[in-house]
Amino acid sequence: MNAFDRISEEYREKSLVQQKAAVKLFDLLKIGSSDDIIDIACGPGHITNWLSKTTEGKVTGIDISEGMIKQAEMLYPEIEFRQIAIEDLDHNYLFDIAFCNSALQWFSDPDRAMSAIFRSLKKSGKLGLACPATSDWSPWFGRIISRVAENREIKPTFSHWKNPWFHLPTVNDYRLFFEKHGFVTIFIGIDHEQTDYSIEEAFNIYLSGAANGYTGKKYYDIEIDDNYIAAFNDSVKEEIRRQSNEGRIMVDFNRLYYIGKKERT
């Protein structure tokens, strides 16, 4: 089971920050009225559906999670969805736009993924990508998890956790990474985004992404059970509560936005 299968039915409601990033990425991309689009790591398809309303071209959503694709197919049967890892994508020269929101950090082989995305685009096609960026991708999460990691019930097991995410040190490192795979940079920047949320909203933001990294069983070099996962998540929620002020807490992310063009085949 993919880590995101567990939250596929609730992802749309919990993925608050991902949806905000999608709107900004869309504005940067300037999608044409007949563009063919691939939505990479499409989740339950709500953003794919939104993209399909912006173009008369073909829109396809892909995701590695079986649960996410089942949700997408049930909710939006008129759209084509495929369960496939981006590294295994076999489309060539089909799309004008590759839309990749909040996914790069999860790719198991980022180099293969970028090569596959580049191949999937037509000449003059564009990649629009947004993701949490740098090792300090969320100062807020850093504060929360550092406290959770010191919990005496959590610490012995969490010491066996291996960071699953792909991050690069600087915006220039990201630019070089994309250009290494053939893209010509049109726009790149890292924004520090801050939003005030309720405790429950902040916890849902955690559940929509980071929880799958911090409690994913394959990211530990020992066996972990559901009791540990529940205890970890409970500890995160309690720490959010402790750090809140009158039931509100400021959530921040350092988020990369990138637009790149394919100028050669």
pLDDT for 4 equals 43
Residue type, 210: A
State yes or no: pLDDT of 185 exceeds 90: yes
- Rounded to the nearest 10°, the torsion over CA 207, 244, 238, 15 is -10
State yes or no: pLDDT of 176 exceeds 90: yes
pLDDT for 160 equals 98
Q: Vertex 139, ends 232 and 205: CA angle to 5°?
A: 55
> Which range is least confidently modeled, 3-7, 41-45, 205-209?
3-7
pLDDT-based confidence at residue 18 (cuts at 50, 70, 90): confident
In the chain the domains, ranked by start, together with CATH numbers, are 3-262 (3.40.50.150)
- Kindly report, residue by residue over 219-263, the tens digit of the pLDDT: 999 999 999 999 999 999 999 999 999 999 999 999 999 999 999
pLDDT-based confidence at residue 264 (cuts at 50, 70, 90): confident
- Kindly report, residue by residue over 48-94, the tens digit of the pLDDT: 999 999 999 999 999 999 999 999 999 999 999 999 999 999 999 99
